[in-house]
Every structure is written in C-alpha cells, then in structure tokens.
Amino acid sequence: MNKESALLAYVTRLGDNALVLGQRMVEQVAAYPELEEELANANFALDYIGQARMFYSYAGELEGQGRGEDDFAFLRDENEFGNLLLLEQPNGHFGDSITRLVLFELFYLAQLEALARCDDVRLAEIAARAEKEIRYHLRHNTQWLVRLGDGTEESHCRVQASVNNLWQYTGEMFGADNVDTIVEKAWSGPSLERLEERWRSDINAILINATLSKPENDGMVSGGKAGRHSEHLGYMIAEMQYLQRVHPGASW
C-alpha cells in the first residue's frame, strides 16, 4: 500500500467512525430523558454528521473518481465501512450512551490533536476544527459519567455495567494495522501506542473520580477497521441507506 492510498483509507475510516456514531445518536433524538440533554445529544450528533461530511468529501477528492460524500455514506456496503465496533453497538440506556462517548472521545480527541499536526494540510485543518467540538463533548460527557458513577446506588450499578459491557471494544482503537502505520510514518500521523498510554491514564483517572472500577477482563474483540462487523451494523446501514438505495440520487 502506498502512502496516498493509506491516507485515503485513513480519512474514510475517520468518516465512518463519525457517521456511524452520529447515526446511533440520531436514533435517540426525541428520546432523551431531559430537554436540556436532548438538545445536547442532538447538537453532538450533528457535530459528528458534519465531521463525517468533511472527511468523506476529502476522501472523494483524494480518490479522484468523482465520488462525493453521499456516495461514501449511502452507497457502500457494510464490509466497506471501517468504523470501530464500539460505535456500531446498539443504543441502550442513557448511561450506556454516556459511557460509549467517554470511552471513544477520550481516544478520538487525542487522535484529532495529533492529526492537527500531521503533514497533510487538509486533514490537519479538518482535525483542528473537529478537535474543538470533541473537547466540549468530552467535558460534558465526562461530567455525566462521574455524576452517574458517583450518584445513587442504582446509577452507579447501571453505569458500571455499561463500562463492563463496552470495555471489550476499546482494544480495537489501539490495534495498529497497515493503514495506521503508514499514516504515522509517512504523514507524521498519530502513534497509537502513545495514544493508548495517554488513554489508559486518562480513563483510569476518570473511573476513579466516578468511583467506578476498571473491568478486570482484558479480552478484546476487533475487526471493524478491517470491515468485519458485528451483526448490528447491517441493520443500521439498511435503515440509513434505504432512501438512496430505493430512489438513487434523490435530494431535497
């Protein structure tokens, strides 16, 4: 794989992460427990959709075959998506949503910070813009994780279960494949090893603050980056792509 195709694959994956997580959050619009949190969730979801659009548009330019953001979002199959398994897991209760966001955004923010200093100017610009949005999300969501963990007995038990369930998907964030390695070496991209070190110390501090314990089980599942997904992604994509598949090229 040359450095150009690695960059294309990397940018597409960033778009996939943002789109799949954004779509999961959109599914919860109008279902949040409080009006204020409802607004926050919808804002955050739109931040992700906006980031997906920027990554996909750029991927289309890098590819140079005339594909645009919609082609990437709506006309690819499940096995062409390279998002993390963590992000496609079905929604559960509010604590599950908050936990997923903290686990991912702690990684994603560090990834964006590193990308903002990479050698590809466009990617660095997009990352710098996304970084500001995610920094706020993380602040908001971390406060919630601490509030729930250090809250009532029920909220503590439920959010501890969320952490235990989702923990198995966190290892995939740091498993470097060919694409990660080439982007790190050839474009001065993030070192996943360094991101993992930072993530571990940050998540430990947050869990302690939230009086939650780190799951003992370190068994990890992965495959999303390589297009091997859990059974959940197919259903999500089917719903998301329905309109474009049935009425190709339909627009407002």
Partner 1 sequence: MTGKEWPLYEVFIRSKSGLSHRHAGSIHAADDQMALDAARDTYTRRSEGVSIWVVRSSQIVASDPAESAAFFEPAEDKIYRHPTFYDMPDGVDNL
Site mask, partner 1, residues 1-40, x = CB under 8 A? --------------------------------xxxxx-xx
Contact of 83 with 13, CB cutoff 8 Å = yes
Sign of the alpha-carbon torsion through 48, 198, 98, 236 = positive
Whichever of 36 and 231 has its CB closer to partner 1, that residue is: 36
Site mask, partner 1, residues 203-222, x = CB under 8 A? --------------------
Q: Output the smallest distance, CB 34 to partner 1, in A.
A: 6
Q: Output the smallest distance, CB 32 to partner 1, in A.
A: 10
Q: Output the smallest distance, CB 100 to partner 1, in A.
A: 18
Whichever of 147 and 194 has its CB closer to partner 1, that residue is: 147
Contact of 147 with 34, CB cutoff 8 Å = no
Number of residues that bind partner 1 (CB under 8 A): 13
SS3 30: coil
Q: Output the smallest distance, CB 37 to partner 1, in A.
A: 8
Whichever of 42 and 116 has its CB closer to partner 1, that residue is: 42
How far apart are the C-alpha atoms of 54 and 25, rounded to whole Å?
A: 18
Which tokens go with 54? 């920027």
Q: Output the smallest distance, CB 107 to partner 1, in A.
A: 22
Q: Whole-angstrom distance between the N-terminal and C-terminal Cα of the chain?
A: 39
Alpha helices in the chain (DSSP H): 3-26, 35-63, 69-74, 85-88, 94-115, 121-149, 153-166, 178-187, 192-209, 231-246
Residues 131-170 that bind partner 1 (CB under 8 A): 136, 139-140, 143, 147
Which tokens go with 111? 């990834």
Task: Centre a 10 Å sphere on the Cβ of residue 231 and count the other Cβ atoms it contains.
Answer: 9
Whichever of 30 and 35 has its CB closer to partner 1, that residue is: 35
How far apart are the C-alpha atoms of 67 and 102, rounded to whole Å?
A: 33
Exposed, middle or buried by CB within 10 Å (0-12, 13-18, 19+), for 165?
Answer: middle
Q: Output the smallest distance, CB 69 to partner 1, in A.
A: 23
Site mask, partner 1, residues 93-122, x = CB under 8 A? ------------------------------
Residue whose pair of structure tokens reads 């959940």 in the numeric block: 232
Whichever of 102 and 182 has its CB closer to partner 1, that residue is: 102
128 binds partner 1 (CB under 8 A): no
Site mask, partner 1, residues 37-76, x = CB under 8 A? x-xx--x---------------------------------
Displacement of CA 175 from its chain's centroid (Å): 15
Kindly list the residues in this chain that would bind partner 1 in the complex (CB under 8 A): 33-37, 39-40, 43, 136, 139-140, 143, 147
